[in-house]
Structure 1
Amino acid sequence: MRLVLVVALATGLSIMGDSLMYGLLPLEAPHLGIALPLVGVLLSANRLVRLVSNTWAGAAFERWGPYRPFVAATVLGAMAGLLYGVGYGFAVFLLARVMWGVAWSGLRQGGYEAVLRGEGRTHGRMMGLLWGLVRLGSAISVALGGFLRDRGGYRLAAGSIAAMTVLAIPVALGMRWPGGATSPAGETPPSPLAGWRMAWRTAPRRWLLAAASLDSLGEGALVSTASLFLAERIGAVALPGLPLIGVGTVAGFLLAVRYLADFLFGPLIGALSDRLGRTRTAFLLAVVLLAGLGSAVSLSGLALAACLTLVFIVRSGSFVTFSAISSRLASESESPPLFVGVYTT
Structure 2
Amino acid sequence: MGWLGVDRPPTVLLAVIASTFFVGFGGGVVFPILPNLGAVLGISAFMVGVILSANRWVRLVANAPAGALVDRYGTRKPFVYGLLIEGIATLGYVVALGMPSADSLRWLAAALPAGSVGSIAVGADWWMTPIAAAVAPETWFLLARILWGLGSAAVFATAYTIAADLSDSGSRGTNMGVVRGGITLGFPAGLVLGGIVSSLAGNAAAFTVAAAFALTASVVAHRYVPETHVTSERTEDSVKPWDVDTSLPALTVGLVNFGLLFAYIGALFSTLVLFLGENEISLLGLDPQGTSGLFMAGTVLSASVFMLLGGRISDTRESRTPILLTFLVVSCLGFLLLARSGSVVDLALACVFIGAGQGGTSGPMMALLADLTPADRMGRASGTNNVFGDVGGGLGPMVSLPLIDAVGFAPIYAACAVLPLAAGVALLLGVRRETGTFLPGRTAGEGATE
Taking structure 2 as the reference length, what is the TM-score of the superposition?
0.70
**CA–CA distance in structure 2, aligned partners of residues 292 and 314 of structure 1:** 8
Partner of 2:418: none
- Map 1:203-282 → 2, pairs under 5 A: 204-219=249-264, 220-237=266-283, 244-276=285-317, 277-282=319-324
Contact 1:62 1:189 in 2 (8 A): no
Contact 1:63 1:183 in 2 (8 A): no
From the CA coordinates, give the structure whose radius of gyration is larger. Answer: 2
- Map 1:190-201 → 2, pairs under 5 A: 191-192=239-240, 195-196=243-244, 199-201=245-247
Partner of 1:290: 332
Partner of 1:92: 140
Contact 1:231 1:251 in 2 (8 A): no
1:115 aligns with 2:158: no
In the TM superposition, residue 163 of structure 1 has moved relative to its aligned partner by 1.5
**Cα RMSD over matched residues?**
2.1
Contact 1:12 1:137 in 2 (8 A): yes
**CA–CA distance in structure 1, aligned partners of residues 59 and 183 of structure 2:** 19
- Helix, strand or coil: the match of 1:76? helix
Query: CA 1:264 to 1:286, structure 2 compared with 1: closer, same or farther past 3 Å?
Result: closer
In the TM superposition, residue 98 of structure 1 has moved relative to its aligned partner by 0.9
Contact 1:122 1:274 in 2 (8 A): yes
1:214-238 CA-to-partner distances (Å, cap 9, x unmatched) read: 222222222222222223234334x
Contact 2:165 2:228 in 1 (8 A): no
Partner of 1:318: 361
Contact 1:61 1:181 in 2 (8 A): no
Contact 1:150 1:249 in 2 (8 A): yes
**CA–CA distance in structure 2, aligned partners of residues 182 and 41 of structure 1:** 39
In the TM superposition, residue 179 of structure 1 has moved relative to its aligned partner by 4.4
Query: CA 1:36 to 1:175, structure 2 compared with 1: closer, same or farther past 3 Å?
Result: same
In the TM superposition, residue 80 of structure 1 has moved relative to its aligned partner by 0.8
Q: Which amino acid aligns with 1:275?
A: T
In the TM superposition, residue 190 of structure 1 has moved relative to its aligned partner by 5.7
- Map 1:1-345 → 2, pairs under 5 A: 1-32=10-41, 34-87=43-96, 88=99, 89-120=137-168, 121-179=170-228, 182=231, 184=233, 187-189=235-237, 191-192=239-240, 195-196=243-244, 199-202=245-248, 204-219=249-264, 220-237=266-283, 244-276=285-317, 277-301=319-343, 302-330=345-373, 332=374, 335-345=377-387
Query: CA 1:217 to 1:101, structure 2 compared with 1: closer, same or farther past 3 Å?
Result: same
**CA–CA distance in structure 2, aligned partners of residues 267 and 256 of structure 1:** 17
**CA–CA distance in structure 2, aligned partners of residues 318 and 32 of structure 1:** 38
Q: Which amino acid aligns with 1:230?
A: L
In the TM superposition, residue 48 of structure 1 has moved relative to its aligned partner by 1.1
Q: Which amino acid aligns with 2:188?
A: A
**CA–CA distance in structure 1, aligned partners of residues 247 and 209 of structure 2:** 46
Partner of 2:406: none
- Helix, strand or coil: the match of 1:15? helix
Contact 2:82 2:151 in 1 (8 A): yes
In the TM superposition, residue 343 of structure 1 has moved relative to its aligned partner by 1.6
In the TM superposition, residue 105 of structure 1 has moved relative to its aligned partner by 0.8
Q: Which amino acid aligns with 1:221?
A: A
Aligned sequence identity (%): 27
In the TM superposition, residue 53 of structure 1 has moved relative to its aligned partner by 0.4
**CA–CA distance in structure 2, aligned partners of residues 291 and 177 of structure 1:** 42
**CA–CA distance in structure 2, aligned partners of residues 208 and 263 of structure 1:** 19
Contact 2:305 2:359 in 1 (8 A): no
Query: CA 1:179 to 1:13, structure 2 compared with 1: closer, same or farther past 3 Å?
Result: closer
**CA–CA distance in structure 2, aligned partners of residues 209 and 253 of structure 1:** 29
Q: Which amino acid aligns with 2:138?
A: F
In the TM superposition, residue 178 of structure 1 has moved relative to its aligned partner by 4.0
1:167-191 CA-to-partner distances (Å, cap 9, x unmatched) read: 1121121134244554746x51464
Name structure 2 gaps, 5 residues minimum: 1-9, 100-136, 388-450
1:298-325 CA-to-partner distances (Å, cap 9, x unmatched) read: 2211212212222112211122222222
**CA–CA distance in structure 1, aligned partners of residues 238 and 71 of structure 2:** 8
Mean CA deviation greater in 101-110 or 257-266: 257-266
Q: Which amino acid aligns with 1:304?
A: L
Q: Which amino acid aligns with 1:290?
A: C
